[in-house]
Amino acid sequence: MTEAMMESTVAGRAEVAAELVGLARRIRAWQDDRKVTTAAMLRRYSGLGSDKLYGRLVKGDTGETDVERQLARYRAVWALIESTEDQRRAGEPLYDDLSPAILLRRAFVEVATESGNGRFILLQGDSGSGKTSAAKALMAKYGTRLAFVELSPVVGDSPFNFLLLVLGALGVQDAPKNAVGCLNKVVEILNQRRRCIIIDELHHAGPRILNTVKSLLNTTPGEIIGLTMPTLWYRMEKAAYEECRQLTGNRLAERIRLERMNRVDMQKLLERGVRGGIEGMDRAVDILGQAAAGRGNLAFVRDVVRRLAELEGAVGQDDFAAAVKAEQASR
């Protein structure tokens, strides 16, 4: 081999080695960000090789490593990680057979033909209990029959701001410049065909918005679904008692309380999200239910499932406990 060929071979190996080290460090950064132990990483991604090899590559030591062979393996590991992250960014799947979605769909179907004023549904649950997911599942099923708005403190107790949100959800881009004009436009649209307005974070409303909601129920044929946290709704009831009472009196079709997680729901999420299955499912559900209570509820369960979805093969109790512990630490 000529000197030029030897130099070219050395340069080529250096490039491969540099890419391999870069991948190892990228994988380690991802691991640290996700708070995954090295032992769990080696179990999940066999392409990383041994603990010793992985550690040496992270430090930049390729030594006598077959860099081309290891590069192919590390590329495959990173591709799998990226695929998992793409799925994560795409958002959680909507399951219409979880109990919050079932309860909301039943209430909506029952009131969908109601001609009286009792067309208000109040869905109450703590953060992470599945309120918004249930609403999205309902929208996925019935499409443009429903429109979704979300209140926030920025909206304030302004009927004008609220009605602008409703018009936007109904597809109106050139809205009137005042509250009266907006109200008339909303009423006009909602009387053209029966529509349902879903209002997320309804506890951010005040007396004036609640009165506007009441007016919409009085003057249009459709339904209104309010999503709220029980403690914040109770606080609003004290500040706007009469307005809340008018909505939860003869205008209330049903009040749905999502008081606790459903064991069946947790098992469904685990079975569907963990490709290789979980060893000791009953025990896993017990552990998960205890850990999730007060820490995000079903949202906590979904995040643990995302962590477990990255594992290859059946998930053992040690890996399951590690995923739960990592999610606890991240909150």
Euclidean distance between CA atoms 159 and 59, whole angstroms: 60
What residues form DSSP beta bridges with 148?
A: 198
More confident residue, 156 or 197: 197
Answer whether residue 176 shows pLDDT above 60.
yes
Tell me: the pLDDT tens digits for 14-30? 888 989 998 999 898 88
Average pLDDT value for residue range 27-48: 84
**First-last CA distance in the chain:** 59
pLDDT score for 44? 78
In this model, does residue 3 exceed pLDDT 80? no
State the virtual CA torsion across 220, 222, 227, 228 in degrees, nearest 10: 40
- Least confident span in 134-143, 146-155, 216-225, 306-315: 306-315
User: Which of the residue ranges 71-75, 173-177, 224-228, 234-238 has the most confident prediction, judged by mean pLDDT?
Assistant: 224-228
Count of CA atoms in the C-beta half-sphere (13 A) of 71: 15
The whole-number pLDDT of residue 9 equals: 56
Residue 87 has pLDDT above 80, yes or no: no
Q: Please say if the pLDDT value at position 88 is more than 60.
A: no
Q: Which residues contact 57 (CB under 8 A, 6 or more apart)?
A: 20, 21, 24, 65, 70, 74
Over residues 208-228, mean pLDDT: 97
**Average pLDDT for residues 230-247, to the nearest whole number?**
91
Q: Is the pLDDT of residue 246 over 80?
A: yes
How does residue 1 score in pLDDT terms, banded at 50, 70 and 90? very low
pLDDT at position 5 is 43
Per-residue pLDDT tens digits for 122-137: 999 998 889 999 999 9
pLDDT of residue 93: 72
Nearest in space to 195 (alpha carbons), one of 228, 230, 219 = 219
Helix, strand, coil share of the chain (percent; to 5): 60, 10, 30
Task: Report phi then psi at 91, rounded to 5.
Answer: 100, 160
CA–CA separation, 51 vs 37, rounded Å?
11
- Residue 95 banded pLDDT, cuts 50, 70, 90: confident
What is the pLDDT of the chain when averaged over all its residues? 88
89 CB-near residues (< 8 Å, 6+ apart) = none
Distance CA 287, CA 102 (A): 25
What's the pLDDT score for residue 2?
A: 53
Q: Which two tokens stand for residue 106?
A: 């039943």
Q: Which amino acid is at 123?
A: L
Residues in the chain: 331
102, pLDDT greater than 50: yes
CB 317 within 8 A of CB 283: yes
- What digits encode the pLDDT tens for the residues 265-312? 999 999 998 888 898 999 999 999 999 988 888 889 988 998 888 777
- Structure confidence at residue 4 as a pLDDT band (50, 70, 90): very low
**Which of these ranges, 73-87, 109-123, 147-161, 164-178, has the smallest mean pLDDT?**
73-87
Q: What does the pLDDT look like over 256-268, one tens digit per residue? A: 999 778 889 999 9
Alpha carbons 155 and 165: distance in angstroms, whole number? 9
Residue 229 has pLDDT above 70, yes or no: yes
Cα 233 from Cα 19, distance rounded (Å) = 55
The CATH code that applies to domain 99-258 is 3.40.50.300
- Do 125 and 135 contact (CB within 8 A), yes or no? no
DSSP letters spanning 157-199? T-HHHHHHHHHHHTT-SS--SSHHHHHHHHHHHHHHS--EEEE
Asked whether the predicted pLDDT for residue 151 surpasses 70, the reply is yes
